[in-house]
Structure 1
Amino acid sequence: MTGHDPQLLAAHALGLLTPAEAETVDRHLRTCAACRAEWARSRETADLVAGVPPETLVDGPPPRDLPLRRALREIGGSPAGDHRLPEAGGHPRRRARRRSGGGTPNRRVGRWAAAAAAVLALVGGGVVAGRLTAPGPAGAVLAAAPGARTVTGEQGAVRMTASLAPADGWVRVEAALRGVPPGRDCTLVVVGADGTARPAAHWRTAPPRDPPAPPVAGSALIEPALVRAVAVRDDATGATLVETPVALG
């Protein structure tokens, strides 16, 4: 691994690589802070998935959630991998468990990585590789989805326009922001009726001279009827940069 590869990072975080394959990623992670940060976000999402009863995800979702069911079955029905992030400049704390499977290594790794990426994308916490500096237009396709809502909120210098669309047991969300300081690690969250914030996307705002990026998009594992607000949190301080009420259904 010589550069940024989201699928390999996701597969590594889920413990789906062989020891030899994991060691290759480990070597890259020891010297790349950006990939280490993305690995950590992928691992957080994997832990979130691991906390959901398997029968809910594998056997329970309606037919429209078949992509999620296929992805979970592809990685054995449990996304809780064993591999841990190596220390910067050091050695991995724990080996990835060996996976067996037919086919060439590249094809097999690609299959596991695709499944891992699908799980991370479809279940809350959607890891976002993009960086945001200025607002773009709200997603017209998402805003036009059945049952979707578009809301706008301001808090100080930060302004957000967000579109949320209900799915079966989860919510798709897209947000365009302006006024968020550069170089910040942020999380887009969907807030439930009990006050629990479900992560939908993570990203780092770009340096001031970088070109504007498109809106941030992701998904959150929450029943649409329980949605009460959408917000952006500063990962370093935990502060809410902007929050606005929204109801689906």
Structure 2
Amino acid sequence: MTVRCALPAAFLLAASVLAGCTAPVPPVPVWRPQVLAELPHDPAAFTQGLELAGDALYEGTGLAGRSQLRELDPTTGAVRRAASLPGTLFGEGLTVLGPRIWQLTWRDGVVLEWDRATLRPLREVRIDGEGWGLCSQSDPARLVRSDGTDRLRFHDPVSFAETGSVRVRLDERPISGLNELECVDGQVWANVWPTDRLVRIDPADGRVSAVVEAGGLLDPSRRDRADALNGIAALGDGTFLLTGKRWPAAFRVRFVS
């Protein structure tokens, strides 16, 4: 016998349980970036992290022996200050937390804590696994880290001790390659390496709630040495700044259907 689920929406969940039906799952929206403005970006910057805090844009760059923490002018992209990571550390994602900045390293097994006012490293904290992307949430107060897999890891914002994790799924399929992160309004945006795609993730259960297809954002004629999209900074007005590794430009965008 076929059971038909045709009850009013208010009773759909209860009916599904009682009748053995499964409520339909709405499709995940797919958006694209609408370019509002373009600004210069250092084409030598192997961008790994990007975040706006106050009147400064902070950028973490990678490559062993060449990694930096940078403070940029958010309107011109000009470098105001820069500090090199110690030794041959390979820098990755970063996040600003009050007077401090946390910056990951890739396979060095440490995360750096910086003094934001002076751009001086304060300490190194050991971590397990790789470091890719990083962002901070206020409710609950925690840091969110990606490690290149399909898992988001949660960390204490003071000690950086790992406090939990969640696996990320799109239509029940794992999404790996999670890279640079941005925490916005309780959700986590992630670049998906090595693509020009972004996903919005609910950190409560790991479900992807939106996808952004950003292919073509940087014209093919300008992708001579450019690598994948890898840099997303929320600007606080519903718009974002996007760039990538060795991209010659950054783009202020709005996501539209």
* Larger Cα-atom Rg: 2
Bigger proportion of residues as helix: 1
Q: TM-score, normalised by structure 2?
A: 0.22
